[in-house]
Amino acid sequence: MIKINKYEIQTIEHFDNNGNSLGLLNEHENTDLRCQIAEQKAIGYYLVFNGLKIQIESNGKIVNWENGLYDTNEILLSRLFKAQIQ
């Protein structure tokens, strides 16, 4: 039977290069921020996840990606791809 599962949208606090909060960003907002950082080659941006300060490099890459950090979509897509090849 098909049922609708509800998912809470994860938001994580992000900070600029002066330590000012940019607010709680969802996954799409995080990706947009990373694009802007890469486009502008900005430095010093980071987020705090589970008490850890995680740097965003000037190319938009997140250093030390932690389990549980914006991974719901990847987990669901993995399930979908697995089901499609079976």
The dihedral region occupied by 67, where left means phi > 0, alpha psi between -120 and 50, and beta the remainder, is: beta
**Confidence tier at 63 by pLDDT (50, 70, 90):** confident
Q: What is the pLDDT of residue 23?
A: 98
In the predicted structure, residue 35 carries a pLDDT above the cut 90? yes
- What's this model's pTM, rounded to 2 decimal places? 0.88
Write down the H helix ranges in 24-65: 27-40
User: What is the rounded CA–CA span in Å between residue 60 and residue 36?
Assistant: 8
* Percentage with pLDDT > 70 across the chain: 100
In the predicted structure, residue 54 carries a pLDDT above the cut 90? yes
